[in-house]
Amino acid sequence: METIQSLKDYLFYDLTLKEIKRLIILKEQRVTLDTWFKEDQIRLSEEEKQLLAYIVKHLLPYETTLMNEATIWGRAIYPLLMMAERDELQAWADVSLETEFPSFKLHGIADAVIGKCQAGVMDIPYIVVIEGKRGLEGKNPRFQLYGELLAIARLNWEAEQQPVTTVFGCYTIADSWTFIRATVTDIEQEVPRMNIESTREYVEKIEAETIFKILKYFVQMGNGELA
């Protein structure tokens, strides 16, 4: 009688670089923002500029590196995600993600996603956000983010069946944001391939408009507005 072998299940938070390289073929590269778009291509409305100014005004007096993570999340991170919402793409916090590949499974809770919602349910996430932990609990947030990007790429592939799937993400530490674009191919094979493009850090206190433009770019790509 043939034995059915169960797939190994990985929790996003526990992923290491060694494990990721065992699961997929990974290529990483650093890019500048103009690799993706020119800043003057993403325009902000006067209302958006005013809202950004209000958020920054309530960050500048404080040492964000000393704030606890929940305060930073509520004061600096999640407000920008909500501002980036468009049409059916909504920002949700604490989203459960679970997906299965031919040779492994991934699961866990994403700190936030922006994705397509239908009937009050997060249907297809396009953007995933990780809040980097600090102190004794701190781990390199990139590996958790890579796992979550791989998971949402699989969910998008299941919906669209495209040979190349592009998804977006970022990780934050205090009010610093690092953005990533992931391109995943061979997603139905035993060993998928993932190409990672990552930016430098952007500090919200002084670069809020640039951070928001990147989020708008991600959302417009997810919404099919940009080629």
Residue type at 202 in one-letter notation? Y
Q: Cα separation of 126 and 89, whole Å?
A: 9
pLDDT tier for residue 3 given thresholds of 50, 70 and 90? very low
Within its chain, how far is the Cα of 194 from the centroid? 14
Q: Cα separation of 47 and 27, whole Å?
A: 39
Residue 2: predicted pLDDT: 42
Residue 135: predicted pLDDT: 57
Q: Supply the mean pLDDT for the chain.
A: 91
pLDDT tier for residue 138 given thresholds of 50, 70 and 90? low
Residue type at 141 in one-letter notation? P
The domains of the chain are located at 8-32+42-222
Residue type at 210 in one-letter notation? T
Specify the pTM: 0.92
DSSP states of 44-89: --HHHHHHHHHHHHTTTTS-GGGS-HHHHIIIIIHHHHHHT-BTTE
Residue 1: predicted pLDDT: 38
Residue 139: predicted pLDDT: 80
Residue 197: predicted pLDDT: 98
Which DSSP helix (H) or strand (E) runs through 21?
helix 17-23
Write the pLDDT tens digit of every residue in 162-199: 899 999 999 999 999 999 999 999 999 999 999 999 99
Residue 5: predicted pLDDT: 57
Query: Are 29 and 196 a contacting pair, CB within 8 Å?
Result: yes
Whether the per-residue pLDDT at 146 is higher than 90: the answer is: yes
Of 33-42, 73-82, 116-125, 188-197, minimum mean pLDDT range: 116-125
